[in-house]
Chain A
Amino acid sequence: GNSVTQMEGPVTLSEEAFLTINCTYTATGYPSLFWYVQYPGEGLQLLLKATKADDKGSNKGFEATYRKETTSFHLEKGSVQVSDSAVYFCALRGSGGYNKLIFGAGTRLAVHP
């Protein structure tokens, strides 16, 4: 079945450091891929998405490229801020349009001044 694997956290970085959170997936067909962010005390928010191979999703300085050859969707940001501290979830939705999301375990990011 479909599954998502993302790197374990926590990830601790200094402000302005480069961020990479790895995400790989297993799925049949052509899934859509997502990154969600959960700030402390809040619900999940969609950060970015990509719906087909080689698409790049981007938002708020974060980027992720849908790599079908490596079944990956790694999240990157060139310069993190303290306000980026949150839990990041990689997720996929199988092809066919049904909106059932499969989530990775989440990666906690802590950014220090």
Chain B
Amino acid sequence: GAVVSQHPSWVICKSGTSVKIECRSLDFQATTMFWYRQFPKQSLMLMATSNEGSKATYEQGVEKDKFLINHASLTLSTLTVTSAHPEDSSFYICSAKPLANTGELFFGEGSRLTVL
């Protein structure tokens, strides 16, 4: 199946710094990518929908200035957690919708962020 890769898979940073997480579709083009956040023992919560070449659409309660999303190409979307704090520590997962829309989404392996 199609492959979606996230980088880094885990990152530890100091409070107040910014962290960028990349989501790449390796063997297909993705017009739309979704960013999820997963808390321990909880479900995936959709944070935002990222469309190539346009502004991301954020879910209610998600701070767009805190979680900057850029979808610069059909194979890359980035999530930047700005001025990270310990409460931002979480598992962030992206998924991608292929240009050839089959209705299926493909998920990255996730990125674990720990803010000290």
Contact = CB atoms under 8 A, between A and B. Distances in A.
Interface in A98-112: 99-106
A44 B43 contact: no
Interface size class of B (residues with CB under 8 A): 20 to 34
Nearest to A6: B43
Contacts of B109: 41-43
Nearest to B36: A103
A15 B41 CA distance: 24
Contacts of A101: 34, 46, 95, 105
- Interface secondary structure of B, over-half rule: strand
Interface in B1-44: 1, 4, 6, 32, 34, 36, 41-44
Given A99-B103, A99-B105, A100-B49, A43 B44 contact: no
Contacts of A105: 41-43
Nearest to B110: A43
A97 B93 CA distance: 22
A43 B34 CA distance: 14
A59 interface: no
A43 B43 contact: no
Contacts of B46: 100-102
Interface in A78-110: 89, 97, 99-106
B104 interface: yes
A18 B103 CA distance: 30
A92 B42 CA distance: 16
19 contacts: A4-B43, A36-B107, A43-B4, A43-B93, A43-B107, A43-B110, A45-B1, A46-B105, A51-B103, A89-B44, A99-B32, A99-B97, A99-B105, A100-B34, A100-B49, A101-B34, A101-B105, A102-B46, A103-B44
